[in-house]
């Protein structure tokens, strides 16, 4: 039994499960959050290695079996509503997940907004999504993630390793946080630039900031007023955001 509405594609290939867990290098002092443990294929191995494992699963029908796993604390919840701040006592944790693909972006944004809780994030995503993450950003979310994390593709996983078989190849990726402070407003700022990413960032920002302030900030950072957001390095964009401060329009 599986539920398509919850993106249930369970990992069934033992070698892949082993490889995936090994690549997270969890040591006995580390706490782990697993999102969507499903039938527990990864959960059992994570729980036997970690100091403490917390798993959040939405499907009530899977909870009873998951609760039998030793050293695993199971929450029946929607991870998009679950209050991640209640994990503060276990932080910094590692996150491991074979993500429910229909909400990949939402989950990654949510994890990023709680950047301080997680020392690294290991997630399985669709190959195409992984490719978009490591290319120059095309969207607000990929720019936001690339600003805050060093993202590495670890390995691909064939669709034959799952039941039911998905339509696409998957990729296991690692997101390692950098030192950039997490500020939710920065997402909004990036959004101004990516909404019309083919236009000049300067003219897009004119809708939100006074021209004088913009001129000063662009000059200070040596930024060309004709530049599009995709051509500007993430750390420079963050500096611009900090220099401009609160929205004036
Ligand atoms: N970890 C298991 C594995 O690798 O075999 C299952 C992975 S399956 C791709 C995704 C899992 O996420 C399913 O167990 C599904 O029920 C769960 N899930 C889907 N939406 C969820 C949500 N909003 N919050 C928590 N879990 C969710």
What percent of the chain has pLDDT above 70? 99
Residue 227 scores a pLDDT above 90: yes
Q: What was the pLDDT predicted at 136?
A: 86
- Which atom of ligand 1 sits closest to the CA of residue 37? 1
Share of the chain above pLDDT 90, in %: 95
Residue nearest to atom 19 of ligand 1 (CA): 6
Please list the residue range(s) of the chain that carry CATH number 1.10.8: 184-244
Kindly state the DSSP code that residue 20 receives in the 8-state scheme.
H
The ligand 1 atom nearest the CA atom of 10: 5
CA distances from 176 to 47, 119, 214, 242 (A): 22, 7, 32, 23
Q: In the structure, which protein residues have their CB atom closer than 6 angstroms to any atom of ligand 1?
A: 6-11, 35-39, 41-42, 56-59, 78-80, 98, 100, 103
pLDDT digits (tens, 9 = 90+) for 76-124: 999 999 999 999 999 999 999 999 999 999 999 999 999 999 999 999 9
3-class DSSP assignment, residue 71: coil
- Write the CATH number of the domain with boundaries 184-244: 1.10.8
Q: What is the dihedral of CA 166, 168, 171, 175, to 10 degrees?
A: -90
Cα 176 to middle of ligand 1, angstroms: 22
Mean of pLDDT over the chain: 96
pLDDT one-digit tens code per residue, 185-221: 999 999 999 999 999 999 999 999 999 999 999 999 9
Ligand 1 centroid to 85 CA: how many Å? Answer: 21
Confidence of residue 135 (pLDDT cuts 50, 70, 90): confident
Q: Please, are residues 68 and 55 in contact by the beta-carbon 8 Å criterion?
A: no
Q: Which two tokens stand for residue 203?
A: 């003219």
Nearby residues of 244 by Cβ (< 8 Å), 6 or more positions away? 189, 205, 209, 213, 214, 217
Architecture of domain 4-177: 3-Layer(aba) Sandwich (3.40)
| Site to substitute for ligand 1 among 2, 4, 6, 16, most atoms within 8 A of C-beta | 6
Distance of CA 185 from the midpoint of ligand 1 (Å): 29
For CATH 3.40.50.150, the residue range(s) in the chain are: 4-177
Reported pTM: 0.96
Answer whether 232's CB lies under 8 Å from 224's CB: no
| pLDDT for 249 | 63
Tell me what the mean pLDDT of segment 61-89 comes to: 98
At 247, is the pLDDT very low, low, confident or very high (cuts 50, 70, 90)? low
Q: How many CB atoms sit inside 10 A of residue 120's CB?
A: 18
Distance 168 CA to ligand 1 centre (A): 17
Ligand 1 center to 83 CA (angstroms): 17
């Amino acid at each position: 039994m599986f539920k398509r509405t919850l993106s249930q594609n369970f990992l069934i290939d033992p070698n892949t499960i082993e490889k995936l867990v090994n690549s997270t290098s969890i040591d006995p002092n580390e706490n782990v959050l697993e999102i969507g443990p499903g039938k527990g294929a990864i959960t059992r191995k994570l729980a036997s290695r970690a100091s403490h494992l917390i798993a959040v699963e939405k499907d009530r029908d899977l909870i009873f079996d998951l609760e039998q796993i030793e050293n695993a604390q199971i929450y029946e919840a929607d991870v998009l509503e679950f209050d991640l701040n209640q994990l503060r006592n276990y932080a910094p944790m590692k996150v491991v997940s074979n993500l429910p693909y229909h909400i990949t972006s939402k989950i990654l944004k949510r994890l990023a907004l709680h950047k301080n809780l997680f020392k690294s994030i290991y997630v399985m995503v669709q190959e195409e999504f992984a490719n978009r993450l490591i290319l120059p950003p095309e969207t607000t979310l990929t720019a936001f993630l690339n600003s805050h994390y060093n993202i590495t593709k670890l390995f691909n996983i064939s669709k034959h390793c799952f039941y039911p078989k998905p339509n696409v190849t998957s990729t296991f990726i690692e997101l390692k946080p950098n030192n950039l402070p997490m500020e939710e407003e920065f997402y909004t700022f990036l959004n101004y630039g990516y909404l019309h990413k083919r236009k000049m960032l300067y003219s897009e920002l004119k809708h939100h900031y006074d021209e004088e302030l913009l001129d000063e900030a662009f000059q200070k950072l040596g930024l060309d007023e004709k530049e599009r957001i995709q051509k500007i390095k993430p750390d420079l964009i963050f500096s611009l955001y900090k220099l401009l401060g609160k929205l004036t329009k």
